[in-house]
Structure 1
C-alpha cells in the first residue's frame, strides 16, 4: 500500500532562523542523502520501499514529503521517522537537528483516488499518479509556510532598510519605494550573511592548512575570482574580512566612500550578490527583476573601482603556453593595480592601510 508521509525537521534553537544560503545547503544535503535511500525495515522485518520524496526548506526547518510502500499507516509514519533520524545521525552538518513529527498526509484511499484520476486522463497511473500525489501533499504542507515565509522577510527587510544610510533610496533606480526598501534591507542583511560565511571559510582553511583551490565546502571565498583561488588561504580570509568590514561600516555612514581597494570592491560585489539571492529565495524579487535594481546601485557604489576583469580569466586553466600567458596577464593586471598582492593597497596613496594587511614573506608560518 502506498502512503505519502510529511515530516518536519527542526534545527537546533541557535540556528532556527536559516538564511537563504543555509536553506540551499540544507536542501542539497538532504537531497543527496535521501537519493541514496531505497528502503527501510519496518515492524516484523517488513520491507518498506521509499518511492519518491520532495524537500522544502524554510527559515525554521525543513518539510520532507516521502512516498512509501508500507504495510500500513503506522508503519509508514514510523519508517519515515526512522529514515530521517538515521540521516540526521549520520551527518555531522545536521548535529542538533531533530524530527518534530511524521504523519500521513494522504491515505491509501486518497492515494488510489489520485491514481484513478491519473488513469482517467490517460496518464501513466504508476509513476505520474504517484508524482501527483506527492506534489499534492507538498503543496498543501508548504503553501501556507511559503506565504508566511515571504511576509516574514518582507517585514524584516523593511525594518533593516534604514540601516543603509550612505545612500538615498533613489540609488536603486526604481520608482517603487517598496522595491527600493526591499533592496536596501537585503543589502544590510547580506552583510551579516557574508560576514558569517567568511568566518566559516577562514576556520575551514586554517584547520586544514589549505587554500581555496583544494578545499571543499567553502561558502563564500569560492565566489571570488578563480584566477587567484590558490592564494585564498586562512591569512587571506582574515584580511578579506577586515576589508569587507570596512565596506560594511561605510554603508551605514551618512555619506558614501567608494571602495578604496580591490578587496573592498570584491566584498561589495559579494554583498550585492547575496542580497539578490535572498530576495529571490524569499520570493520578493526575481533575479531578472533585481538585476536592473542592483545594477543601478552598483553604478553609483563602485564609482569606477576596477575589478570585473578578474573574473574573465583563470590563470590555472590556461592551455596555450600557460607560464608565458600567465606572466603576460599578470603584468597587464599589475599595470591596472589588479594583481593579488595589490588587492589590499589603497588606490588613494594618502589613505592609511590596516597593519594586518601588510603581509610579509614570513606570514605564512603564522598559521
Structure 2
C-alpha cells in the first residue's frame, strides 16, 4: 500500500535560521541524494519525494510503498537518517519526526465525497423551494435564539462592548453570540486548511480552495504552510479562550491579533447570512468591540504591505525584500515576530510550548 510520509528535518542548534542561499543549497543536497534512493527493503520502495526548505529547516514528503503504516514511517526515517549521515553538508541535522498523513488520492476522494453530499443537499433544498420564505424566517429565528443564548459566554466583555454607550439591546447581544459562534467556525476552517496544505506540501500562495488562511495578509502568503497553520491555530485558540474569561487580556502577539480579526470577520458574515444584521450595522458594532479588544497592535498595517515585484511578476532583489522586511521588523510586524509576545514578557511565558521553537 502507498503511504505519504511527512518528515521534518532540523538544522543544528547553532543555526538559528537558514538564509535564502543556504535554503537553495540544502534543497539541492536533499534532491541529489533522494533521487538515488530506490528500494529500502525487499517489500518497501520509495516511489517519489517532494522537498520544501524553509528558514527553520526542511520538510520532506516521501511516497512509500510499504506493507504497513509503521513500516512506512520507519523506512522514511531510515532513509533520511542515512542521507544525513552520508552528507557533510548535513552534519548536525536531525529528523525531528516522521509521520504518515493521508495520501493525495485519499484527500481528493474525501473532497469528492463531500461534493456529492453537498450536491444532494442542494437538490433537497431546491425540492422545497416553494417553502423558501417560511423556512428562511424559521432559520433566522433559530439563529436569533441560538446566538442570544451564546452571548452570555462572552464573559470578558458582554453585549455592552458592541455599543456606543447606553443599555445593550438585541443587536448587541446577537453580535456577542455571533463572536462566540465564530470561534468554532474559524477553528474548523483552520483545521481544514492545515490538512489541505500538508497533503499537498503547499503554501497559501500555491493552494486553491482554502477556507480562511487566504484572509491573512497576502504579503506573506508564500510563508503560510502547514507548520504555520498549526502554530496559527494555537495562537487563535489562546486568544479565543480569553474571550470566555472574566477579565480581558488583549492579543499578546501579531498572530493572536490576526486570529481574533478572522473571528470578528466570520461573526459579521454569519449575522448577515442569517439576515440578523446588515454589513453596515455590524461594522459599527464590531468597530466598537475592536476599540476595546485589540489594544495597540497595528496588525491592520500588514494588509497594506505589498512585496516589490519585477515586471515579470517575480519577487525583486533580495536587497529590496530585505529592506521591506527591516521596516516591518522595526514595527514588530515581520513574519518571524508574529508569535513573539509584544508586551515585553519572555517568549515562553504564557505561550504554548509548540511555539517556542518558531
1:9-37 Cα deviation digits (max 9, x unpaired):
xxxxxxxxxxxxxxxxxxxxxxxxxxxxx
Corresponding residue to 1:261 among 215, 232, 253: 253
Matched, 1:280 2:272: yes
Structure 1 counterpart SS, 2:175? helix
Structure 1 counterpart SS, 2:222? helix
Matched, 1:209 2:201: yes
Structure 2 counterpart SS, 1:158? helix
1:214-248 Cα deviation digits (max 9, x unpaired):
01111010000000000000100000010001011
Kept after mapping to 2: 8 A contact 1:244/1:264: yes
Residue pairs, 1:120-269, within 5 angstroms: 138=129, 140-174=130-164, 175=166, 176-269=168-261
**Structure 1 partner of 2:263:** 271
**Structure 1 partner of 2:323:** 328
Structure 1 counterpart SS, 2:333? coil
1:147-186 Cα deviation digits (max 9, x unpaired):
0110010000001001100013221125542111000000
CA distance in structure 2 between the partners assigned to 1:219 and 1:287 by the alignment: 20
CA distance in structure 2 between the partners assigned to 1:198 and 1:269 by the alignment: 14
Structure 1 counterpart SS, 2:342? coil
Structure 1 counterpart SS, 2:245? coil
**Structure 1 partner of 2:38:** none
**Structure 1 partner of 2:115:** 94
Structure 2 counterpart SS, 1:213? coil
Kept after mapping to 2: 8 A contact 1:227/1:316: no
How far residue 330 of structure 1 moved from its aligned partner, in angstroms, is: 1.1
Question: Gaps spanning 5+ residues in structure 2: where?
Answer: 1-110
CA distance in structure 1 between the partners assigned to 2:172 and 2:126 by the alignment: 43
Kept after mapping to 2: 8 A contact 1:166/1:251: yes
Structure 2 counterpart SS, 1:315? coil
Matched, 1:348 2:343: yes
Aligned residues: CA RMSD: 2.7
CA distance in structure 1 between the partners assigned to 2:281 and 2:345 by the alignment: 40
Structure 2 counterpart SS, 1:322? coil
Structure 2 counterpart SS, 1:199? helix
Assess, with a 3 A threshold, how the Cα gap between structure 1 residues 154 and 318 changes in structure 2: closer, same or farther. Answer: farther
Assess, with a 3 A threshold, how the Cα gap between structure 1 residues 289 and 102 changes in structure 2: closer, same or farther. Answer: closer
CA distance in structure 1 between the partners assigned to 2:205 and 2:122 by the alignment: 39
Question: Gaps spanning 5+ residues in structure 1: where?
Answer: 1-89, 106-136, 361-367
Larger Rg, first or second structure (1 or 2): 1
How far residue 305 of structure 1 moved from its aligned partner, in angstroms, is: 1.2
User: Where do 4+ consecutive residues of structure 1 move more than 6 Å?
Assistant: 99-105
Q: Please, what TM-score do these two structures have when normalized by structure 1?
A: 0.61
Assess, with a 3 A threshold, how the Cα gap between structure 1 residues 99 and 199 changes in structure 2: closer, same or farther. Answer: closer
User: How many matched pairs?
Assistant: 240
CA distance in structure 2 between the partners assigned to 1:94 and 1:325 by the alignment: 44
How far residue 99 of structure 1 moved from its aligned partner, in angstroms, is: 6.6
Assess, with a 3 A threshold, how the Cα gap between structure 1 residues 318 and 304 changes in structure 2: closer, same or farther. Answer: farther
Assess, with a 3 A threshold, how the Cα gap between structure 1 residues 349 and 152 changes in structure 2: closer, same or farther. Answer: same
Assess, with a 3 A threshold, how the Cα gap between structure 1 residues 312 and 318 changes in structure 2: closer, same or farther. Answer: farther
Corresponding residue to 1:313 among 300, 305, 322: 305
Assess, with a 3 A threshold, how the Cα gap between structure 1 residues 179 and 242 changes in structure 2: closer, same or farther. Answer: same
CA distance in structure 1 between the partners assigned to 2:186 and 2:176 by the alignment: 16
Assess, with a 3 A threshold, how the Cα gap between structure 1 residues 201 and 92 changes in structure 2: closer, same or farther. Answer: same
Assess, with a 3 A threshold, how the Cα gap between structure 1 residues 181 and 208 changes in structure 2: closer, same or farther. Answer: same
Assess, with a 3 A threshold, how the Cα gap between structure 1 residues 215 and 177 changes in structure 2: closer, same or farther. Answer: same
